[in-house]
A and B are shown apart, each in its own frame.
Chain A
Amino acid sequence: MYVENVKSQMRKGMLEYCVMLLLDKKSYYSSDIIDELERANLIVVEGTLYPLLSRLKKEGLLDYEWQESTSGPPRKYYKLTEEGRLVLVALDKSWCTLAGTVDRIKML
């Protein structure tokens, strides 16, 4: 139970950063984001993603546009805004520092 708790805390911290990393490369449909995150074991239940996307949008870090779909209703394609890219650069730095710190402590 304790291990699960810590793991879930780690995932929470990572999730936002990973979503932004994904959206930096190309624009994504939310279901494709879910597929990627599930493949990486970052997400347990799918519902978690939507409030996160909504929050990032509210912060102005990402935006979406509607695109027609060959099957079913139109879909929202999310992509990072300029501001989002700037934030991502900052997060990248922070991540490198964190990863470096972890590696360094492991080496001690």
Chain B
Amino acid sequence: MAIIDQGHAARQLIYEKVFRSATLCAAILVLLILGGVGASLVHGAWPALHRFGTGFVTREIWNPVTQQFGALGPMYGTIVTSLIAMLLAVPTGFGIALFLTELCPPWLKRPIGIAIELLAAVPSIIFGIWGLFVLAPILQSQTQPWLIAHVGAVPVIGSLFRGPPFGIGILTAGVVLAIMVLPFIAATMRDVFDTVPAMLKESGYGLGATTWEVIWHIVVPHSRVGMVGGVMLGLGRALGETMAVTFVIGNAHRISASLLAPGSTIASAIANEFTEADGDLYTSSLIALGLLLFLITFTVIALAQAMLRRLERQSGGRL
């Protein structure tokens, strides 16, 4: 009897070791992949970075004929289109999530929830052709002339809305991106609001708070960390989105003061030009663009983490 038990125990020990090594390998694999991506990007980008130095990120010029490449235009486009998307999608997603969790009549909850998930499942190419053939003409004929006429005259922010209405451009790309990241932001925030304990909300109501006061003073502060997570998820997607943006941004390597003008993002520039990139320096410059996108995304995540840690310290580590 004792011998059988020993054999069993020994087998268990082996299983334990095998299992441990297998999970360790899986974890290390992630590090290897990440390291590999980083290393091959740096390797591929090296000729361009070596040639242009810091000028690669500070110069706007992008001229394949003279072999002069600077990434400032696409970097600007990437950041500005993502900011526009966030500006539009975060408040909307926040409103959707609040409505679904706190105000929505039960029979409407499921249809709206399913609609949001379906919106997230639409392939980006669909948003691209829709943006080009449907949204851009509407913006060109309706929205942009209105913006030029009414907001264009305002000092300071007016310069963002001047020039001819192209239809396609930075603003259009931002709007399409906003629609694309909206379901992610709304769904994440809804899930976060759903985790607020009923008892906590009832405590607020118990002190005579109205629905709005409970939402604003209790639900939202309680969900801060998760909300930041949702915004970062959307931002990460907006920064890297390629196909739809390539359709509607106009693909011009320059920085215009006006949001109505065409521009480019890092991802759209790479997608657009990789097939026609002749010469090592051109190819290398495109890879260097990819490296920059990698770094921008990495920075965003790092900032988000720092922000979360700060929030956590404020609340005494109990979130």
Q: Do A and B bind each other?
A: no
Chain B residues within 8 Å of A, Cβ to Cβ: none
